Chain A
Amino acid sequence: MTVCLLTWLPLAVGLAGLLWPRHWQQSTVWTVAWCGLCFVAALTGVLAGFVESTSIALGLDDFARRALPVAGLWAAAFGWVMLRGDDEGRSAAVGRGGAILGGLTLAATSTDLIGLSFALEMVRIGTTVSRREERGMLDRLLFLGLCVGAAGCQGVTGSLDLATMRDVLAGVYTPAEPLVPVGRPALVLVGSVALWMIAAVTPIGIRAVSAVLDERGEPLEQQLAALTARQLVALLALSRWMAVGLPGLEAAVTTLLVMLSLIAGGCAVWLMDDRQRLDRLLSGFALWQCAGHLLWLTAAIKATDAMWLPVGWSHDLLVLAAMAAIAVSWVGRSSSLAYLDELRGLGALRPVSAALLLIPLVSLLGGPLVAGGWLRLTMMSQIFSLHVPGPDDLLFPRLDVRYALLLWSVVWIVSARAAVEIGRVVLLETPLRIDAWSRGWWAMVVAVLTATAVIAAGCCPYLLTLLIER
């Protein structure tokens, strides 16, 4: 199992946070330590991604160099959530945060199925609030699915290491017709891969649904942090697998990803059906983004330099965190935000805050002159470019992917409706409440930096190109 130093550090801190005596956990020392850890992880991840010598010293491959900055970015973007804590105290949040960050870095650096499964499970544990989800047996059973899937892959290929699996598949099991993998071992392998993937992705939906079904669920920011963490680790694990490649199974895996994307899109529509609940809306946005990224993954199956995916993830993480930060900061430190009406009149009372909320929202929707517009454009063009070899070496566009893209666009329109509702409430409605601004300096930093970066990259997309090429 390949685990780099970056993984062990947050793991150790998270474990210590969970096991430490409770009265010690109340100390603000932990808060400061957590903040420092997040920044160190983010900084190191970025450095590891950009400095070749550092990456060599850490033993990171290309994928890890691209993925680690995203994991660090999650920590930086949602670190303020851990800072706020919840009912159980800040220390528990710090412990869970350590588990999440450890899982993310493990998923970014691991190259075998054990490491990836362990990473998924760590993030699942870190994002589970035991009081509310301890009865979620399905959520726990999914770890069994991961193990069975990994065991099936190991049984067919004789290895859990992804590169070895690829070599075995390329040498032995590649059928003449790539669309029809023949032979019993290949079928077992397809089933195992499907099981593993479903077990990896399903917790995303479970997380969102379980949080929403509970009317007085977790606070909005914690809900969003948990959801995005689960999404990110699943996407990292799947992309790692896609980057290594599955010779002969591309068509099956693509179809599987498309189905998962459709499920995520359906969950997003269901969540955004109630446009009065802000937590549902933001969770719906996150699920819609996840559906898009799953589709995007289909286009990057054989790609050796799929740098756009981490950029897309980073963008979505940042904008979701910024929106949640502004919304939560508006309500204040003591209460939680659930209903959209609580944001009424934000534009009249706090125009800057309204701008900081709406700029990421526009970018999330792919509006003009913001980074999201270029990312959606790139994503759509890449997905449209996905094709399968046809008879006589002619190229056909992938039918299922095209229709999935169409359905994703329908969810896009639903998201746009929700965004218009948010914009209407924030900008046009009359304020009902007096100013209740709280001091969320970290959240504000995240929001300001996000808005600045999004506009800069939107007006001058050459910056995005530079980032990709670098």
Chain B
Amino acid sequence: MNALREAGPRLVVLLVCSPLIGAAIVAALGRGRPETARQAALANSLLTVLLSGLVAVAFAMVAESPSDTSAAFSALVPWFAVEHPTAGDGSRLALVCVLSFGVDALNLGPLTWVPWLACGALALMSSQEATGTRSRASGTQGGVSTAELIVWLLVECGLLAVFAAQDAVTFVFAGMMTLGLIGLSLGWWGGGDRRATAGRFLRGQFAAQLLWWLGLVGMAVAAAWSRQELLARIPPVDFRWITLSRGLPQVVYQSMAGFQYWSAASPLLFAVLLTGAALRTPWAPFHHGMQTWLNAVPTTFALLLIGAWPLVAGYGWLRFIAPAFGDDLAALGGGLTWWTALSAILCSRLCWTATEPRQFATAWCLSLQSLGWLGLVDGSPAGLTAGWLMLQAAGWSAAGWLLLGERADDAGPQRRPRAAFAAMLCLLPLVAIPVVGGGPESASPVEVLLLHHLWPTGLAIVAWFVTGWAAMRRIAHLAFGTSAKGAGGDLTLRDGLWLLPLGVCLIVVVVHPALWWGQP
């Protein structure tokens, strides 16, 4: 056991590099032998799952509690260090970047979830039935090519690197690589109009990535300058998350120069980072983009795109942004919660009107993401916890919906009840997550949100209800084979009139008592 604990940092590096090694092996063995390539990729994917389990066990041995973010093991490799003079007083400003991977309570979930998702998708990619679903998506016939497997493994590697990154540079660089690979896979193996869709995906997501890069660099420089007064010299610009999200909020209140510097710089940086998050998630009004991408991408890549990619924005927000911009969040929290609540409403409408299984899975993901972001932009510990859990749950449940939807069409009537039961499991996050995150002595996230932002939370509850109702209709369709109208169709005026008083009733019945209970 001690050996496992001591091997923790190396295990993390191995976990990230495992798909990369797999890609190299597939490239070496798979030329002209697609069956061998497929087997090698599957074996590598299983090995990655095993490694993720070992990492989780090793972390559990180190951490005192499951939410212990101070307990972490990470591997740091000096990557880039340079010293250059500044324009101020002639002193020198050093720049230090490390290539770092690690695990803590924040990223343990995605690091164990992504290999499972990847392995499942790869198994789907390898199966005979998948050929049918893939053909529907891409419009092509035939098995999976070696190139597709290689790109797939590289995407998995990139996603693991994003989540395991312990510094902003690794986070941004890994995100860029993953983004490019997903765009290429979309353009090469996607469905109709895949080239234009790939272009749109890359343009939007790359813009978000650049904005985040700019904001993170600004944060790192601000952290260095803010510590100047305390240290009597300019410390190196450090991109590690612990400096940005923990050191920066502390240091700006310990020196007058740091406070004034941060007061001047933080609004601009927060605006940049917020725009990047809205583009990347994506929030309304950018949410139509995700439907377009997911409609064009092959099923297997869609599983990763819907299950893991939207998590990156929330993870980056939690890791780097939310701790450092507490004041800005407090100032703008009202507006941001309105934004996310409206986004949830729009996405729940998409959920209601979706007719295709893939459309529904996308709308489901977007709606739950918006509900999760409501907690993230609130900034309270309960909200952040619940928001992060909601985002993760949205990922796996949307991937589940996608998989079920794609396969239920191929299944016979006798398998439909089982599919319906599996779909019921996908409803769990909608039911359970809003009350998760509050301890026995603390308020639940819903209570906190209602106290902080009454009307946006009420709006979100309406969205929550619409999304759940749409999901129930789809489950009923799966179980009993009801008409297509029951599984989708346009939202009529009568439906809307029916929903409106229901939402008001919900607010009156749920919101007011909760507000009353929450009074000290």
Q: Which residues of chain A have a CB within 8 Å of any CB of chain B?
A: 298-308, 366-369, 373-374, 376-378, 380-382, 384-387, 389-390, 394-397, 399, 402-403, 405-406, 409, 412-413, 416-417, 420-421, 423-424, 427-429, 461-462, 464-465, 468
Contacts and interface: CB of A to CB of B under 8 A. Distances in A.
A424 B199 contact: yes
A381 B237 contact: yes
B260 interface: yes
Contact of A395 (B82, B169, B174, B257): B257
Given A399-B264, A416-B210, A420-B199, A304 B173 contact: no
A377 B169 contact: yes
A421 B270 CA distance: 29
- Among all A-B residue pairs, the 6 with the closest Cβ atoms: A368-B173, A384-B221, A461-B80, A428-B187, A413-B207, A380-B217
B516 interface: no
A268 to B, nearest CB: 15
22 contacts: A300-B87, A302-B87, A302-B90, A306-B84, A368-B174, A368-B177, A373-B173, A380-B213, A381-B95, A382-B84, A384-B217, A385-B93, A385-B221, A389-B88, A395-B225, A402-B265, A409-B210, A409-B214, A412-B210, A417-B203, A424-B199, A429-B195
A204 B220 CA distance: 34
B140 interface: no
A462 B93 contact: no
A231 B172 CA distance: 30
B268 A406 contact: yes
Q: Which of B84, B86, B88 has the most CB of A within 10 A?
A: B84
B301 to A, nearest CB: 15
A308 B83 CA distance: 10
Given A368-B174, A384-B218, A396-B264, A413 B210 contact: yes
B198 A386 contact: no
B84 A308 contact: yes
A376 B213 CA distance: 10
Nearest to A301: B87
A464 B79 CA distance: 11
A427 B180 CA distance: 12
A458 to B, nearest CB: 10
Classify the interface of chain B: helix, strand, loop or mixed.
helix
B272 to A, nearest CB: 7
Given A377-B95, A413-B207, A424-B195, A396 B260 contact: yes
Contact of B82 (A373, A428, A465): A465
B293 to A, nearest CB: 14
B279 to A, nearest CB: 10
B80 A465 contact: yes
Given A369-B173, A382-B84, A416 B206 contact: yes
Contacts of B465: none
B195 A428 contact: yes
Interface in B255-280: 256-257, 260-261, 264-265, 268, 272
B92 to A, nearest CB: 9
Nearest to B228: A395
A412 B214 CA distance: 11
B260 A394 contact: yes
Q: Which of B194, B198, B199 has the most CB of A within 10 A?
A: B199
B87 A378 contact: no
A259 B177 CA distance: 34
A369 B187 CA distance: 22
Given A369-B173, A369-B177, A428 B261 contact: no
Contacts of B84: 303, 305-308, 378, 382
B85 interface: yes
B143 to A, nearest CB: 21
A304 B85 contact: yes
B222 A427 contact: no
A423 B260 CA distance: 43
A387 B211 contact: no
A386 B265 CA distance: 12
A367 B237 CA distance: 20
B62 to A, nearest CB: 30
A409 B173 contact: no
Nearest to A423: B202
Nearest to A413: B207
Interface string B156-189: 0000000000000100111011001001100110
Interface in B70-97: 79-82, 84-88, 90, 93, 95, 97
